[in-house]
Structure 1
């Protein structure tokens, strides 16, 4: 289902021999590739829960939201890709909302490992973002980093089979 969506914009012309100047605009595939690269660098999406620090995750989630913004402001982006990127922004914003204002671990009390608010929020974020990563990779025929691939649903190959043929 991959289509060539490279776009060009006329930026100038020359005479007397009729030359033209073109600027290549980012197509949806390039924008999706950049977003996947952005997400691949977010260890909060794939590193062991016990190694994550809430403050670092909050900063990383805010950074992702902010870096997606300029892609959404690109007038060349398709409505379909814009919806996907808006959903990614909402997912990271939801992660931040779920954690709420930072608090001292002692105030939260003891919890069994993996049931603390950060682990729960990260688990939910990874599951939901993993679906979006898989859809972007399949839609635009992009590779996914080894780390990010760990959060893409792949039960018996069902996910990528939807996009074949």
Structure 2
């Protein structure tokens, strides 16, 4: 639910000025929209390029930081955003620039460092995506839904009344 705060009143023709205040649901919606644009979370591993993934992860970290600066969010939401931001930071630390060179096309499928790191990131962030969507009754894009754990429907059952 979006809330409003009275910021001013005019005496002439009666009027009021309002400021929109975001609640946790609105913040969660923004997070899901931002993550839905991170194709590194759902695109085929073999189509990803390390540098692009690192850039995308850094953009996600920045945008999550901006959302954490929202004073209207609860401490629970701030903790969740910090956790998601930490997962992206860990990803960057794992696959970022290093002296070690490797050829991902010579590694057995899915065992190169980028694929392993992407798999870990997707698994960890997928849980947060599912929890945000379930807690705030939000839709998840088809692409993002592909990384939300849903084996035998166990995930969303916890949130049903």
Q: Does the pair score TM above 0.5?
A: yes
Tell me the equivalent position of 1:158. 154
Tell me the equivalent position of 2:102. 105
1:62 aligns with 2:58: yes
Q: 1:111 to 1:75 in 2, by over 3 A?
A: same
Q: Is the 8 A contact 2:54 2:96 kept in 1?
A: no
Mapping for residues 1-165 of structure 1, pairs under 5 Å: 4=1, 6-15=2-11, 19-102=15-98, 103-106=100-103, 110-165=106-161
What's the C-alpha RMSD, in Å, of the aligned pairs? 1.7
Q: Matched residue of 2:56: which SS?
A: helix
Q: Which runs of 4+ in 1 moved over 3 A?
A: 16-19
Q: Matched residue of 2:71: which SS?
A: coil
CA shift digits 1:123-145 (9 cap, x unpaired): 00000000000000001100000
Return the structure number with greater relative CO, CA threshold 8 A, min gap 6: 1
Q: Matched residue of 2:18: which SS?
A: strand
Q: Structure 2: 5+ residue runs without aligned partners?
A: none
TM-score normalized by the length of structure 1: 0.90
Q: Structure 1: 5+ residue runs without aligned partners?
A: none
Q: Matched residue of 2:6: which SS?
A: strand
